[in-house]
A and B are shown apart, each in its own frame.
Chain A
Amino acid sequence: MAKKRLCLTVNGRAIEQEIEENLRLLDVLRDELGLTGSKEGCGIGECGACTVILDGKAVNSCLVLALSADGGVVETVEGLAAGDHLDPLQESFLDNHALQCGFCTPGMLMSAKALLKENPAPGVEEIKEAISGNLCRCTGYVQIVEAVKEAAQRLGGG
Chain B
Amino acid sequence: MSVHDSWRVDAREKVTGQARFAADLHIPGQLIGKVWRSGQTHARIVSLDATEAKKIPGVVKIMLAGDMPAHTTWSTYPFLAQGRVLYQGDAVALVAAESEEAALAALAQMEAVYEALPPVLSLDEALEESAPILHNSYPDNRVANSHWPVRKGNIREGFEQSDLVLEREYRTSHVEHAYIEPEAVVVMTDWDGSLIIYGSTQNPFNTRRAVAAATGYPLNKVRVVQQAVGGSFGGKEESVGLLAGRASVLCLATGRPVKMTYSREESVIESSKRHPFRFRYKVGAKRDGRLMALQAELVDEGGAYNFQAQFMNWRACVHAAGVYHIPNVEIDVYAVHTNHVFGGAMRGYSSPQIIFAQESLMDELAAALGLEPLALRRLNFLREGDETITGQILHEPVNAEKVTLRALDLADYERKKEAYRRQDPDTRQVGGIGFATCFRGCGLGAEAPDATGAILSVQEDGSIVVRSSLTDMGQGLQTAHAQLVARELGVSPARIVSKPVDTSLVPEGGMTVASRGTYSGGKPILQAVARIKQILLHVAAQKLECSAGELAMANDCVFRREDPSQKLSFAEVASAAFWSGHSLSVTEWFQPGPLRWERETGQGEAFPSYTYSCVVAEVSVDRLTGKATVTKLVSVHDAGRVVHAGAASGQVYGGMAMGVGMALMEGLNFERGLVTSTNFDRYLIPTAADIPEAVFEFLPSDGNSGAAGAKSLGEATVEAVPAAVANALAAAGYRLRTLPALSESLLKRERG
| Interface residues of A, Cβ cutoff 8 Å to B | 30-31, 34-44, 46-47, 49, 76-78, 80-81, 86, 90, 93-97, 99-106, 109, 127-129, 131-145
Contact status B21-A39, CB under 8 Å: yes
CB of B333 closer than 8 Å to a CB of A: no
Q: Which of B473-495 contact A (CB under 8 A)?
A: 473-476
Q: Is B654 a contact of A94 with CB atoms below 8 Å?
A: no
22 contacts between A and B (CB under 8 A): A36-B17, A36-B23, A36-B24, A46-B680, A49-B180, A77-B16, A78-B17, A94-B15, A97-B6, A97-B8, A100-B475, A100-B476, A101-B180, A103-B180, A106-B17, A109-B15, A134-B687, A136-B657, A137-B657, A137-B658, A137-B685, A139-B653
A40 and B200 CA atoms in complex are apart in Å by: 14
Distance in Å: Cβ of B660 to nearest Cβ of chain A: 9
Contact A103 B21 (CB under 8 A): yes
Count of A-B residue pairs with CB < 8 Å: 182
Residues of A within 8 A of B688 (CB): 127-128, 131-132, 134, 136, 141, 144-145
Instruction: Tell yes or no: B454 within 8 A of A by CB.
Output: no
Give the residue of B18, B229, B476, B687 whose beta carbon is less than 8 angstroms from that of A37: B18
* A144–chain B nearest beta-carbon distance, Å: 7
Enumerate chain A residues within 8 angstroms of B687, measured Cβ to Cβ: 132-135
Contact A90 B16 (CB under 8 A): yes
Contact of B15 among A35, A47, A105 (CB under 8 A): A105
Q: Is the CB of B6 within 8 A of A39?
A: no
Binding site for A on B (CB under 8 A): 3-4, 6, 8, 10-21, 23-24, 26, 177-182, 228-231, 233, 263-264, 473-476, 646-647, 649-650, 652-658, 679-681, 685, 687-689, 691, 694
Beta-carbon contact of A46 and B181 below 8 Å? no
Determine the distance from Cα of A42 to Cα of B401 in the docked complex, in whole angstroms.
Answer: 43
Assess the A99–B14 pair: CB atoms within 8 A: yes
* B129 to A: closest C-beta gap in Å: 41
With contacts A47-B680, A103-B181 known, what are 5 further pairs, Cβ within 8 A?
A42-B679, A86-B12, A97-B4, A103-B231, A135-B680
- Min CB distance A148 to B, Å, is 10
CA distance A141 to B688 in the complex (A): 6
State the Cβ distance, A30 to closest chain B Cβ, in Å: 8
Given contacts A39-B181, A80-B16, whether A139 and B689 have CB atoms under 8 Å apart is no
B178 x A95 contact (CB < 8 A): no
Contacts of A76 in B (CB 8 A): 17
Contact A39 to B11, CB < 8 A, known contacts A135-B687, A136-B180: no
Is A137 touching B14 in the complex (CB atoms < 8 A)?
A: no
A83–B204 Cα gap in the complex (Å)?
34
CB contacts (< 8 Å) of B179 on chain A: these are 101, 103, 137
Shortest distance from the beta carbon of A82 to any chain B beta carbon, whole Å: 11
Asked whether, in the complex, the Cβ of B654 is within 8 Å of the Cβ of A100, the reply is: yes
Q: Is the CB of B17 within 8 A of A140?
A: no
Taking CB atoms, residues of chain B closer than 8 Å to A40 are 23, 182
Q: Is the CB of A78 within 8 A of B16?
A: yes
Instruction: Find chain B residues with CB under 8 A from A131 CB.
Output: 688
Nearest-neighbor residue (CB-CB) of B177 within chain A = A137
Contact of A96 among B4, B647, B694 (CB under 8 A): B4
Inside 8 A of A96's CB, which chain B residues have their CB? Answer: 4, 6, 646
- A102 in contact with B685 (CB, 8 Å): no
A99, B15: Cβ atoms under 8 Å? yes
Q: Is there an interface contact between B681 and A44, defined as CB atoms closer than 8 Å?
A: yes
B679 CB contacts on chain A under 8 angstroms: 42-44, 46
CB closest residue in chain A, given B3 = A97
Question: Judging by beta carbons under 8 Å apart, are B680 and A105 in contact?
Answer: no
Measured between beta carbons, the chain B residues less than 8 angstroms from A105 are 14-15
Given the interface pairs A132-B688, A138-B650, A141-B657, the reply to whether A41 lies near B264 with Cβ below 8 Å is yes
Q: Which residues of B contact A129 (CB under 8 A)?
A: 689
* B650–A139 CB distance below 8 A: yes
4 tightest A-B CB contacts, nearest first? A37-B17, A101-B474, A102-B14, A103-B230
Q: Is the CB of A95 within 8 A of B19?
A: no
Distance from B474 Cβ to chain A, minimum over Cβ atoms (Å): 3
What is the chain A residue whose CB lies nearest that of B16? Answer: A81
Contacts of A144 in B (CB 8 A): 688
When chains A and B are docked, how far (Å) is the Cα of A48 from the Cα of B88? 28
Residues of A within 8 A of B21 (CB): 36, 39, 103
If A77-B17, A102-B474 touch, whether A41 touches B654 (CB-CB below 8 Å) is: no
List A contacts of B6 (CB < 8 A).
Answer: 94-97
B24 CB → nearest A CB, Å:
4
